[in-house]
Chains A and B, each alone.
Chain A
Amino acid sequence: MLCPNLLQNMKTALAKQKATALVTITSHFDPMFIGKKFLVWEDGHFNNEPELEIIYASFKDLYLSLIQKQKTKCIRSMINEQEVECFVEIYLPRPQLIIAGGGHVCEPVVQMASLLGYYITVVDDRSEFARKERFPLADEVICAGYLDYFQKCPLTNHTWILLLTRGHQFDVMSLQELLKRMETPAYIGMIGSRRRIAGVFEQLKQEFPATAFDSIYTPVGLDIGAESPAEIAVSIFAEMLMVKNNKSGDSLSQETRHLAKLGFRGGKSE
């Protein structure tokens, strides 16, 4: 059953950046089990009732594989030759967005990031820019050198990074530090013109293996002709969602446009 200490355990784990599976028994040969819940993490589990242990133990590998794939799913399996069905919901920690550079593009980026539910960190090496009053919606505003910050900041596969500093050399410096780290963030977006970026990549290729560039998106954003800071923010978040959801970034109407012309029965003749 849903109970306060189950939810509290879940929230504590998420705050520690741990993906959590909430398991609900949705079908069981003994009706007393239906609706009972427990939690599973990659490094352990939690439940209130000892009789649920057998279900956890029987399905353990399935739970762990769903956590790894970040996939919510209803699963069925046999226990003592009887079918048991569990609904496994994966709750992911709140993703963190680190924005390097508190300039004019950063402002709408913070606003939109707040709407989308990110934990927002703004970093700038200038104290007049790294002010909380400039970014009331940010969770933290840090005044630090980019090199120092990116050497030590926590990185997980739920960390998203935008390099939007005032000078291309600062973006490149930050990128080099990030590439040296063992941990790989979900996404690194770097602003800049195609011409300048080509030069940077020539230089980085000699230092890092080709696979190091897989999570780097530069120039940042989708090709929607964004010019103003707000438009650039839209283009950046559109790209980040595309990456997160592993989608094409094409217009949804593209596939159906020709069908619409044939009529809404999908072109079937009757």
Chain B
Amino acid sequence: MNELEILEQAIFLKERKEPAALATIIVKKGSVPRNLGSKMIIMRDGKIIGTIGGGCGEGEVIERAFDVIDTGIPCKHTVDLTKGLFYEDGGICGGIFEVFIEPLTVNKE
């Protein structure tokens, strides 16, 4: 799925008022799995659409996205993949990237 298709999905979810957030890679340094502008939609039930890099840091972005969905306040989050440069850790990318997370629909419980 390309980034334009992810934006289309985001609009679709927003119109259905599904609690969700959109995360976009806005800064990267060193070797990271995906390019600037790569996007991922995070739904409140934990489902994701698109990817910003698979195992490399996606988990912590999903956690932050839940806060964004609950509060409605956008945030920036930095993922540091330079620690644990060993294959066994899974995170072998060795760079840093920054993600902007914005709410699509706020979770009102």
Contacts and interface: CB of A to CB of B under 8 A. Distances in A.
Contacts of A1: 102
A24 B100 CA distance: 10
A87 B15 CA distance: 24
A74 B2 CA distance: 20
B4 A26 contact: no
A26 B25 CA distance: 11
A31 B72 CA distance: 12
Contacts, number: 51
B10 A2 contact: yes
B11 interface: yes
Max chain A Cβ within 10 angstroms of own Cβ: one of B4, B10, B26, B104:
B26
A235 interface: no
B89 interface: no
A3 B104 CA distance: 9
B7 A87 contact: no
Q: Is the interface of B mostly helix, strand, loop or mixed?
A: mixed
How many residues of B sit at the interface, in one of the four size bands? 20 to 34
A213 B11 CA distance: 45
Interface residues of A, number: 22
B36 A26 contact: no
A31 B4 CA distance: 26
A24 B37 CA distance: 11
Q: Is the interface of A mostly helix, strand, loop or mixed?
A: mixed
A34 interface: yes
Interface in A31-88: 31, 34-35, 72-74, 87
A264 B94 CA distance: 13
Contact of B37 (A2, A3, A89): A89
Given A2-B14, A34-B74, A89-B37, A7 B26 contact: no
Interface of A: 1-4, 7, 10-11, 14, 24, 26-27, 31, 34-35, 72-74, 87, 89, 91, 117, 264
23 contacts: A2-B11, A2-B14, A2-B102, A2-B104, A4-B11, A7-B11, A10-B7, A14-B4, A24-B24, A24-B102, A26-B74, A26-B100, A27-B76, A34-B74, A35-B74, A72-B35, A72-B37, A73-B36, A87-B24, A87-B100, A89-B3, A89-B37, A91-B4
Given A2-B11, A89-B36, 8 more contacts: A1-B102, A4-B11, A4-B15, A10-B4, A10-B7, A26-B76, A74-B27, A91-B4
Interface of B: 2-4, 7-8, 10-11, 14-15, 22, 24, 26-27, 35-37, 73-74, 76, 87, 98, 100, 102-104
